[in-house]
A and B are shown apart, each in its own frame.
Chain A
């Protein structure tokens, strides 16, 4: 899988990390609204931090508010905000193996145990 991703990066023309560094940067899923998420978020930060996070719709909404209040993000018209949240809710929801990143890391794998209170 790792090799596949590296090859994918080369194919899309992205620069690859110096030879033996490993990229753990995830890709955004192709679902409706992805382009809007990119357009509104990448001027400041890359999509890596979005792909790495798995939150509820309300938490994503709060995150956008924080970006606006503290980090200079522009005002988004309500319908656009809804589309962005629709995307994030679907693509980056907590049920989507929030631990996937860690679990994919072989040397960290035995660290993780499910929390019995979390459904």
Chain B
């Protein structure tokens, strides 16, 4: 069955289609039963009959990888701002955005803190704002799978290239202030978050994702509960009304649409904490190796990385003029201390000017002017070095089954013309 054949008989309104005997028509068109047909949201057209691509509401210029769940990355040249605007910030969702987030509705919402605490807390948004000191932080959030498309053999999941990263300004409170108000017991080992997002199967007993961090990271001064992103209430895709940000760690540690933080006496075992999710092999493995689950360990800090936001790859530039290049650099381990570029495939390196971060875990602006020696084809390679002395690798680093942590140098092609 081709797409055209399947859509020839479509009525004007696809919404009506499913509500007026559409289900039977769908089954007939497919020639197959449709399990869970009742789960199809009204108005959703099955892919078999038309590819439904959501409107990417509030986003501009992004590249949508998946519509259900919604996942989108930012083309790297659109990441040039020091602070990534909300409309340009990547989105990695695991489930369905809750209605509350679209309606910006706080009714019935509270944040529950329980588990290994002296006193359980149930905080409304106004409690949060009134009881704790608010902080503003500019923080990089990067998906653990950013760069996954570079792995070969291919790794499972969204095929992120370079753009599953952004650096926005968040306002909120330190998680540690809230946890300390609840009184963290000595038995506390980990936190696990729960959000209001809906599992794709619409089974209310399932969480799309429920991850967390060790208690030390939860109590770190930089880990925050944020209600605002770039001066606006959190956009629906980004977790309205409240999200966690655990800077420097995979974005998935920063639970969105937050409703509960469970302080655990063991490593949290929620959805996507166990098995192979957000884990890498304990020891380096050859590409394509099967790795047993017990040999996988949870990702903590994200490695040093940088991007070239200007110019885009493939640019032509006159020999007589210097070419201005710029971008950002960051590391989950703290500040980046050096930024170098090469125009000769890594034989020699040119130091770029590297700015200070606005605060810890914000990305750092780098820029440099390069004069090319003669006309021809060049690749510009960009390499950041963090304060541990760790550099970005030239090639895609350690293969791992789920394709995490690809921090290979970005390279752009430049044609120099006489």
Contact = CB atoms under 8 A, between A and B. Distances in A.
Interface of A: 8-9, 11-18, 20-25, 27-28, 30, 34-36, 38-40, 42-49, 52-55, 59, 63, 70-74, 94, 98-99, 101-102, 105-115, 117-118
A36 to B, nearest CB: 5
Interface stretch (B26-34, B124-132, B238-246): B26-34
A43 B314 contact: no
B106 interface: no
B388 interface: no
Interface of B: 1-4, 7, 10, 14, 30-37, 39-40, 45-48, 50-57, 59-69, 72, 75-77, 147, 149-150, 152-154, 156-159, 161-162, 199-201, 203, 206, 271, 286-288, 312-314, 379, 395-396, 399, 408, 410-413
A99 B152 contact: yes
Given A17-B64, A52-B65, A110-B413, A39 B33 contact: yes
Contacts of B14: 13
Given A47-B47, A53-B154, A72 B201 contact: yes
A62 to B, nearest CB: 9
Contacts of B162: 107-108, 111
A52 B411 CA distance: 23
A102 B161 contact: yes
A106 B287 CA distance: 25
Given A44-B36, A71-B200, A72-B203, A21 B7 contact: no
Contacts of A45: 66, 68-69, 200
Contact of B48 (A20, A42, A48): A42
B201 A25 contact: no
A108 to B, nearest CB: 4
A23 B53 contact: yes
A25 B35 contact: no
B321 to A, nearest CB: 22
Contacts of A112: 149-150, 396
Contact of B46 (A22, A42, A63, A102): A42
Of B10, B30, B77, most buried by chain A (CB within 10 Å of CB) is: B30
A107 B68 CA distance: 25
Given A39-B32, A43-B36, A52 B55 contact: no
Contacts of A73: 35, 201
A74 B36 contact: yes
B40 A43 contact: yes
A35 B399 contact: no
Nearest to B6: A12
Contacts of A15: 52-55
Given A48-B66, A98-B154, A106 B314 contact: yes
B129 to A, nearest CB: 33
Contacts of B36: 43-44, 74
Contacts of B396: 111-113, 115
A61 to B, nearest CB: 13
A16 B51 CA distance: 9
Given A48-B65, A115-B152, A71 B314 contact: no
A46 B201 contact: no
B154 A99 contact: yes
- Smallest CB-CB A-B distances: 10 pairs: A98-B154, A102-B149, A43-B36, A72-B201, A108-B161, A110-B411, A44-B200, A46-B68, A48-B66, A14-B51
B64 A21 contact: yes
Given A43-B36, A99-B154, A118 B287 contact: yes
A44 B35 CA distance: 10
Nearest to A38: B48
B39 A20 contact: no
A37 to B, nearest CB: 9
A71 B40 CA distance: 15
Contacts of B33: 39
Nearest to A59: B156
Residue with the greatest number of chain B CB neighbours at <10 A, chosen from A11, A21, A47 = A21
A107 to B, nearest CB: 5
Contacts of A63: 156
